[in-house]
Amino acid sequence: MKRLVPIGLLACALAVSACGTRVLDSDDASQGIAEVIEQQNPQISEVTVVCPDDIEAADGGEFECQVSGDTNGVATAVQTDDDGNFDFEYSDPGGDQ
């Protein structure tokens, strides 16, 4: 059974890429998502999240991060502005968490 976990708003740092585009700091995004998953799911003690590099900062922009460790799935994020803020939902395809 697929499980979706709605998560609150997160923020991460912005940087400017070589071509001048503002991008999200993928390490900040990964760390923030991992912390929230662990906080909201006490049965999960070890989570690794990998978000793509060079996520362009754009209101409404979406990106997916791979989640592994005590749980495996995908965190799907939607940016709420172009300043590095985003909401995400975590999908655990196994649904056993």
Q: What is the mean pLDDT of residues 18-38?
A: 85
Closest Cα partner for 87 from 1, 18, 4?
Answer: 4
- Reading the block at residue 97, the tokens are 């968490």
Q: Please tell me the predicted confidence (pLDDT) of residue 4.
A: 45
Strand partners, 5: 90
pLDDT in tens, 47-56: 999 999 989 9
CB contact set of 81 (below 8 Å; sequence gap of 6+): 59
Confidence band of 31 (pLDDT split at 50, 70, 90): very high
Domain boundaries, the chain: 9-91
CB contact set of 91 (below 8 Å; sequence gap of 6+): 2, 3, 4, 5, 73, 74, 75, 76
